[in-house]
Amino acid sequence: MISTLCNTIFFQAIGDYHIHNYIDAKEENPYPSPSIEHLLYKKNWIDTVQWHLEDIIREPSIDPVVALKIKRRIDTSNQERTDLVEYIDSYFLEQYKDVQVQADAGFNTESPAWAIDRLSILALKIYHMQQEAERKDASGQHRLACNTKLNILQQQQQDLSTAIDELLHEIETGKKYMKVYKQMKMYNDPSLNPVLYANKN
């Protein structure tokens, strides 16, 4: 099941990051490129670094210059994340390109890789909520509330994992087909963002 592979690799990447717990730690991807394992590990590493960038930028006393620098880094990370999701979808398109699609086949509103993207974020939520549920310096009420949230997140992970596996099975058997749209983000494109192309002149 692809979801089992995803969840295993996501928690591996999160664990590896937190050995250093440093946003500039070097990603040491243990899987060969361009395998799906390599892509999944890289995907979650990007998400994990961005998670911590989002924490840092919310520091109330952060220097505005530092905040802007981090915001620009988050923008770059978002573009890398989007590109990688599309690359993972390309992997699935190649894998299922020879499937005989049934005449009445439909398609999902969300591609497999974008669902996997949500699974990666869920893994991060679970990891950090568990940290809060076990925090020694927090009140018992805080730990109890976080444990309740943790249970909900774990149920979400189970439900999403099942949905992803079912979607890929339906694609594999021709009951559904993949329909993928490029994100076409405009704010990063100097030819599409009016603020950027106005400054070129």
Beta bridge partners of 106: 176
pLDDT at 184 over 90: no
Residue with the bigger pLDDT between 43 and 184: it is 43
| Alpha carbon of residue 73 to chain centroid | 16
pLDDT, position 111: 94
Assess contact for 84 and 42: CB atoms under 8 A. yes
The amino acid present at 3, given as its one-letter code, is S
Q: Which pLDDT score, from 0 to 100, does residue 17 have?
A: 98
Q: Which residue has the tokens 């603020």?
A: 195
Res. 186: pLDDT tops 90: no
pLDDT band, very low/low/confident/very high, at 121 (cuts 50, 70, 90): very high
Residue 8 is encoded by which pair of tokens?
A: 């295993």
Give the pLDDT mean for 43-53. 98
pLDDT of 147 reads 96
The dihedral built from the CA positions of residue 152, 153, 155 and 160, taken in this order, carries a sign that is positive
State pLDDT tens for residues 88-111: 999 999 999 999 999 999 988 899
Strands (DSSP E) contained in 22-164 are none
What's the predicted TM-score (pTM) here?
A: 0.90
Percent of the chain topping pLDDT 90: 85
Least confident of 32-46, 49-63, 78-92, 181-195: 181-195
pLDDT at 190: 73
pLDDT above 80: residue 187: no
Determine the Cα–Cα distance for residues 1 and 35; give it in Å rounded to an integer. 16
Per the CB < 8 A criterion, the answer to whether 80 and 46 are in contact is yes
pLDDT value, residue 48: 98
Dihedral angle, C-alpha 70, 72, 76, 79, nearest 10 °: 120
> pLDDT tens across 145-175, in order?
999 999 999 999 999 999 999 999 999 999 9
Per-residue pLDDT of 6-38, as tens digits, reads 999 999 999 999 999 999 999 999 999 989 999
pLDDT of residue 196: 62
